[in-house]
Structure 1
Amino acid sequence: MNMFALTKESLIDKKILDCPAGACSFTAIGNQSGLDVTACDIAYHYSVDFLQEKGHSDIKHAMEHMKKVKNNYQWGFFAGVEDLRAHRIRALQTCTKDIERSKERYIPVTLPSLPFRDEQFDIILSAHFLFLYADRLDLSFHLDTVDELLRVTKEELRIFPLVDLNGARYQYLDEVIHYLIKKGCTAEEIKVSYEFQRNANSMLKICKKGEQYD
């Protein structure tokens, strides 16, 4: 919620898509809290057992790396590396258990294509993918993915953060915003209260047809 400057109340009666969702707990906790959340990710092509095994492996690798670059992060939301590890493991466990219970909410996809109908969702949340991996995903991929995300949302798309892995503002962000405005959307950079990676404290709020979503 802090990443996207949202409240639970603002999402009531909204159809929400988390894309790409990964092995995170937002979908599970959101639906348990009365929201209507669907998750999609390339990872859901695989079995729950594989996701658990790969998830633990990824967390172990990430924490080993994190210890070497601790100064690149703000340690306010998390108390330290061990607290972050525990948080990630809980999220992984919550996610995989929810997939076993509600597999229909976890849709395997390979971006930039999505298997959803036009305007199937009211709002789409996209975290830690677009812009972040600018070293391996080119501008064309970003524009194609944003187009597809906008196709399946009725109102709005929010993307967090707006920096690459080095904490620098995505070099083509102005081009993306110009592209969106030419399509008739509004695109606004908004500071948010969540910051873990240094300088990763802004999101892009994109509204279709000038509609505002509060």
Structure 2
Amino acid sequence: MSGFGDYLVSSRDLEEYRAMLALDDADLAGSVLDCPGGGASFTASACALGADARAVDPVYAVSADELEARLGAELERGRAWAAGRADAYVWDLHGDPDALTRRRAASAARFVAHRRAEPGRYVAASLPHLPFAAASADLVVSSHLLFTYADRLDRAAHLAALLEMARVARREVRVYPLVDVAGRPLDELLARLRRDLAARGLATEVREVAHEFQRGARHLLAVDATGPAAEVGAPT
């Protein structure tokens, strides 16, 4: 999951990650995996704060130079999307589409520099198969993939991804947002996934966050990864 074409590869920064995923200093004191990381500078910034941070994304299979070039196109793609749907967003944090693009460009530049400096922190892989040991990260965070692309990722794909992230997490998985790319709530999908996870021993919680860029995107899903998750299987 994630990659160029069907899925926009974004370059969000640490401040936005903190806001949308309710991350505090304690969260950034341990090990954290960003899945998918895209072109975000979160891993670079978290490492600078002392976290043992890594990112995983299939786009990391391309070279640093090629990815840098592609991110430029993704920035323009994102700007055009936001500009064409400006009323669907709350601009308190970003100002306007051009200011958003400048901010994301700065984040992308930091990502590219850090990936060149510490390539081992950027792993090319795709959900629902992560090349990490069980309970190898305190926290796994995932933004703007699950729920966002519910038009192309069905319930089974969501469940497999959530179970895999819960396998890798020692403490918790946090997923944001819980609306699709058009801002529509996905209450039925969310409820069924929470039942699926509960049946496998994984408790979940929906938390309100102090962040709203995409209108209606005010909540995250937290999965308690300390429960005895079962093997990935098709939902019933």
Instruction: Show the counterpart of 1:179.
Output: 196
Matches within 5 A, 1:78-97: 78-97=94-113
Specify the code of the residue in structure 1 equivalent to 2:69.
E
Q: Give unpaired runs (5+ residues) of structure 2.
A: 1-17, 229-236
Deviation at 1:50, TM superposition (A): 1.1
- Contact kept in structure 1, 2:172 and 2:226, CA below 8 Å: no
Matches within 5 A, 1:122-161: 122-161=138-177
- Contact kept in structure 1, 2:56 and 2:126, CA below 8 Å: no
Name the SS for the 1:178 alignment partner.
helix
Query: Does the C-alpha gap of structure 1 residues 51 and 64 become closer, same or farther in structure 2, counting only changes over 3 Å?
Result: same
CA distance in 2, matches of 1:119, 1:143: 18
Instruction: Show the counterpart of 1:202.
Output: 219
CA distance in 2, matches of 1:155, 1:65: 35
- Contact kept in structure 1, 2:28 and 2:49, CA below 8 Å: no
- What is the aligned-residue identity percentage? 32
Name the SS for the 1:206 alignment partner.
strand
Specify the code of the residue in structure 1 equivalent to 2:206.
E
CA distance in 1, matches of 2:155, 2:227: 24
In the superposition, the TM-score normalised over structure 2's length comes to: 0.86
Which of structure 1's runs of 4+ aligned residues deviate more than 2 A? 208-211
CA distance in 1, matches of 2:94, 2:170: 34
In the superposition, the TM-score normalised over structure 1's length comes to: 0.94
Does residue 59 in structure 1 map to residue 75 in structure 2? Answer: yes
Count of matched residue positions in the alignment of Structure 1 and Structure 2: 210
Aligned-residue RMSD, C-alpha? 1.3
- Contact kept in structure 2, 1:156 and 1:208, CA below 8 Å: yes
- Contact kept in structure 2, 1:184 and 1:208, CA below 8 Å: no
Deviation at 1:61, TM superposition (A): 1.9
- Contact kept in structure 2, 1:16 and 1:121, CA below 8 Å: yes
Deviation at 1:210, TM superposition (A): 5.8
Name the SS for the 1:2 alignment partner.
helix
CA distance in 2, matches of 1:109, 1:203: 24
Deviation at 1:70, TM superposition (A): 0.3
Specify the code of the residue in structure 1 equivalent to 2:62.
Y
CA distance in 2, matches of 1:11, 1:53: 30
CA distance in 2, matches of 1:32, 1:114: 24
Query: Does the C-alpha gap of structure 1 residues 10 and 144 become closer, same or farther in structure 2, counting only changes over 3 Å?
Result: closer
